[in-house]
Structure 1
Amino acid sequence: MTADAPSAPDAPSAPDAPSAPFVPGAAPVPAELLVEADLLTRTLVPLVNRFRARQQDDGTVTDATAADADLLGRIRDTAAAWYRRNGLGDQADALVADVDAWLAAGLGSRPHFARSRDALRVPADGEPVFFLAPVQTTNSAPPVGKRLDCFLALRKEPDALAQMAGDFPHPKNNCQALVLITGSEGFAHGACLVVFPENVAAHDKVTEQPYAMFFFGKMRKIHETYALPAAAAVLTPESLPRASTGLAADVCYEARAIWGYLHDSMHYQGLWPFDENISLKMNWFVGLLEEIKVDAMTVLACADSGLVPFADEQIDMILLERVFRYPQADDATRNFDSGTGVFLYSWFREHGALIGSPEDGGLLRLDRARALEALRTYVTTMEKLEAEVTTDDEYRSRAKEMVRRYLPEGEPGQRYAFTEDQRVLLRAKADLDRLPPLEFARAEW
């Protein structure tokens, strides 16, 4: 590991000739990295787990004691020594400064780890990355908040990236596909897949996003544990999408990583690209429509181009994850991703892609061809909206109006309420909630 890991390289150019059919290969974690993982798992991770259990969701420690301060000091010293031993002096210095400032302010104050956030450098493909900070581990096992967490991961881009970069250029690719090797409970338990700079506890607001790290190695277990049962409780057996079921670990990783690449590249297409309209696209209503749009564009690229490896696997994975898994969140009526799934469910119902009556336990039939056409119609609808609006305020107003046609107003503090028809999506929730949190360790795909 080096102190100054390079930024993500420019996308490689397309090959001169058509590539051979893609076959994924294994991605073994280097033995020396497993040794480092074992060391962190034995020494640092237990300390971090003890400390995060003392925190509130905003990162503060209520009625902090001298023992809490001593524990945080041990975490600082252990992690900083590990950073320095692996040539990551900048991250060590940032961590020490952030921890010392927090201790000086008092652990009852909210943590401010902007230095650690900004010192994190993007690893090159095939290189490891380690990070420690209070960070929002979205969709992890409760408790979730700006609690202290750490992870060690290996960057492993899909083997098909060179082909994808030629066929589907990404003008500003800043995403990293990772295999989680070890980590504290926020990362090693539950379904947290992402680390963004804005997830790190800090007083200032992020103005750019130099990294977006995705633990795609966790996807297979998440998909099979939650998405498939949630869909099976709603859909007729013959119409249940199955191309993403029972995938080999490396195939699932490749398919999910390619989905991630395509999804992110689609954010930069069209009249209102994400990078030029970050503040606008962070609006809850605008962002919800944007997320559905880029996944719809990804599905259509898989269905229409003939250029995307694992196209059917990605289509079915996207449909199952977006429509059936995301709405299972405990905070679904406040959760951004859940809202996209509930919206898309009703969009499919309206466009004849989900057929039947859910009353009295009736199952719905998913018409896959109509689902693809419904997504095509959605993209056309969004492109028309974006062509007609001329200001941010007009965009926000139109987006809210469109979302409210499918997601009605909810109770105070909620973004929306489930309609009676939409509640069919929650049939499996009670059973899924009884499952123990998923656990990930030792570079599990």
Structure 2
Amino acid sequence: MTEILSPATASNDSTGTSGTGASGGGVVRHPAWAVLKQAVEEIRPWQLKDGSIDFSAQDAPQRAVVDSALDRVVRAVEDLSPLLPHDTAYHQALVKDLRRWSDGGYAVPDFLDSLLAFHPAAERTDGLEHLVVFPMYTQNGNPDRNLEAVALRVVWPEWLSELERTRYDNPLFVPITFEDFTPGYDTNSAVLFPETVAVREAPERFTWGGIFCDREAARFRAVSRAAVDTLGVALPEDAEELLADQELSQQTFVLWDMIHDRTHSHGDLPFDPFMIKQRQPFWMYGLEELRCDLTTFKEAVKLEAEGHGMGRYVQYAILFDRLFRFPVTGDRVRNYDGLGGQLLFAYLHKHDAVRWTDNKLRIDWERAPQVTNQLCGEIEQLYRDGIDRPKLVHWFAAYELVSGYLSPHPGSVWAKGPDALDLGLPPRKLVDEVLADEFPLSMFYEALAKKLRDVIASTKGITAHGTGRVAA
């Protein structure tokens, strides 16, 4: 395993922690974990999309059978909780929520009390373990609010803690790794977000957000390796090192994620930086996510210049994931992350930082960071100018930026300009005129998508240990 230098030093003997924390697996090695998983997986097929159980349905289970399964969930949580004293209050609230769900006849679940009692960001200690049980959907995974159980660990090496404290303040960010999980996470989901939990009302504010860096890193390594081999990319030695080393990749992703996440709330922004409550054309979402990644890239360039060990690796990770995985992952319906990857490639290509010649992709490793930062500057300028523009004018300006590098669909109404749209409608109605695939894949990416289809599919449910759920 590669020794990871602290970003605060250039080449001394200071190292970060392992990123996976203490060895072993207290929760998953305990007999109660297998009981908990089995009981949760027994309950899941009985639940409707909203998490409730309809006992009037033709194939509904007997109430006594459901009660028995829920009793096993409760007992397992109570047996496992002493292993995790930092989660005692959460587990006590969880048992009450489970019992209330049962007492209420398994109607739409409400786990607000236990959600408010769970505070993983309050104690970010490297290797700290958590047992999480909630009825929830999993982003990019299961869309239904099923009961799920996840055993995980916090990744918080000292060098990352120091950067967060002194430079990239992000008190809500919790990087995590899987120990084991129920089927909702045997998917492409790589996040644990409180807003996915079934509750009676949304909290006034969320106090944490978890990202599984082991899944991100494993997926990144698999797809990037396949893309590099397919495209014949000649890699620098340190880029090869990153693709070969799961531990190094995980620590790279926690730094990328930490800076990206905080960037949503920094810079020239609208009042709702995450755009959660706004209905906008999907290229606006794509530009916001790309802006956060390119800002992270710019910071990584600074870190490298200052002698911080992880800066170079973060640059590689952003380039490879954005160029190789994002454009060809998922369907083409409003794929805003895919759009951001397409835009980055086209921008680098048109500025001679990448060239596709003789069936090989050549990357100018000195020019690529300069051009990437240049694109970041153009997006930042778009945002600054947008402060003085009406919403619809801003959307058209953003469209002009994107369409300057990516060809719109020939049937696009938006591509024809304002005169082709009914400007008497409110802006949110004009979003209906946006095509599902407003900026189709280029011929380069159409060919690459076919080459990478199988390896991308194989990363479903992947962890640091490979594909499929972690063995208990």
| TM-score > 0.5 by shorter chain | yes
* Distance of aligned partners of 1:128 and 1:84 in 2 relative to their CA distance in 1, 3 Å threshold: closer
**Partner of residue 211, structure 1:** 208
Contact 1:355 1:366 in 2 (8 A): yes
Aligned-partner SS, 1:91? helix
* Distance of aligned partners of 1:105 and 1:163 in 2 relative to their CA distance in 1, 3 Å threshold: closer
Q: Which moved more, 1:255-264 or 1:423-432?
A: 423-432
Contact 1:51 1:148 in 2 (8 A): yes
What is the number of equivalent residue pairs in this alignment?
Answer: 420
Unmatched segments (≥5 aa) in structure 2: 1-6, 413-432
Aligned-partner SS, 1:151? strand
CA displacement at 1:279 relative to structure 2: 4.5
CA displacement at 1:166 relative to structure 2: 6.1
For residue 24 of structure 1, the aligned residue among 16, 27, 30 is 16
Q: Equivalents in 1 of 2:253, 2:314: separation in Å? A: 7
Give the AA of the match of 2:247: D
CA displacement at 1:259 relative to structure 2: 1.7
1:84-103 aligned within 5 A = 85=82, 86-87=84-85, 88-100=87-99, 102-103=101-102
1:7-406 aligned within 5 A = 20=12, 22-26=14-18, 29-30=21-22, 34-39=25-30, 40-55=32-47, 59=51, 63=57, 64-66=60-62, 69-70=66-67, 73-74=70-71, 76-82=73-79, 85=82, 86-87=84-85, 88-100=87-99, 102-103=101-102, 110-122=108-120, 123-126=123-126, 127-140=128-141, 145-165=144-164, 168-170=167-169, 172-187=170-185, 189-202=186-199, 204-205=201-202, 207-233=204-230, 235-238=231-234, 242-243=239-240, 245-272=242-269, 279=276, 284-305=282-303, 306-307=305-306, 308-356=308-356, 362-390=359-387, 393=391, 397-398=395-396, 401-402=399-400, 405=403, 406=406
CA displacement at 1:384 relative to structure 2: 1.3
Give the AA of the match of 1:164: L
Structure showing greater Rg: 2
Q: Equivalents in 1 of 2:20, 2:111: separation in Å? A: 33
Aligned-partner SS, 1:356? strand
TM-score (norm 2): 0.74
Q: Equivalents in 2 of 1:334, 1:112: separation in Å? A: 31
CA displacement at 1:278 relative to structure 2: 5.8
In the TM superposition, what whole-angstrom CA distance separates every residue of 1:312-340 from its partner, at most 9, and x where no partner exists?
22211111112222334333534443333
Aligned-partner SS, 2:25? helix
Contact 2:42 2:69 in 1 (8 A): no
Contact 1:230 1:427 in 2 (8 A): no
**Partner of residue 3, structure 2:** none
Aligned-partner SS, 1:24? coil
Unmatched segments (≥5 aa) in structure 1: 1-13
Aligned-partner SS, 2:153? strand
Give the AA of the match of 2:293: D
* Distance of aligned partners of 1:281 and 1:257 in 2 relative to their CA distance in 1, 3 Å threshold: farther
Aligned-partner SS, 1:181? strand
Give the AA of the match of 2:234: E
In the TM superposition, what whole-angstrom CA distance separates every residue of 1:355-400 from its partner, at most 9, and x where no partner exists?
237xxx9443333334323321222112212221236835862575
* Distance of aligned partners of 1:433 and 1:399 in 2 relative to their CA distance in 1, 3 Å threshold: same
Q: Equivalents in 2 of 1:441, 1:245: separation in Å? A: 14
Aligned-partner SS, 1:355? strand
Contact 1:102 1:111 in 2 (8 A): yes
* Distance of aligned partners of 1:144 and 1:300 in 2 relative to their CA distance in 1, 3 Å threshold: same
Contact 1:25 1:250 in 2 (8 A): no
Q: Which moved more, 1:256-265 or 1:365-374?
A: 365-374
Give the AA of the match of 2:310: F
Q: Which moved more, 1:323-332 or 1:276-285?
A: 276-285
Aligned-partner SS, 1:213? strand
Q: Which moved more, 1:255-264 or 1:245-254?
A: 245-254
Q: Equivalents in 2 of 1:395, 1:37: separation in Å? A: 54
* Distance of aligned partners of 1:243 and 1:264 in 2 relative to their CA distance in 1, 3 Å threshold: farther
Contact 1:168 1:262 in 2 (8 A): no
CA displacement at 1:175 relative to structure 2: 0.4
CA displacement at 1:190 relative to structure 2: 4.0
Q: Which moved more, 1:294-303 or 1:238-247?
A: 238-247
Give the AA of the match of 2:354: L
Percentage of identical aligned residues:
18
* Distance of aligned partners of 1:317 and 1:174 in 2 relative to their CA distance in 1, 3 Å threshold: same
Q: Equivalents in 1 of 2:279, 2:73: separation in Å? A: 33
Q: Equivalents in 1 of 2:456, 2:12: separation in Å? A: 44
Give the AA of the match of 1:42: A
Q: Equivalents in 1 of 2:172, 2:271: separation in Å? A: 13
**Partner of residue 9, structure 1:** none
For residue 414 of structure 1, the aligned residue among 431, 436, 439 is 436
Contact 1:386 1:395 in 2 (8 A): no
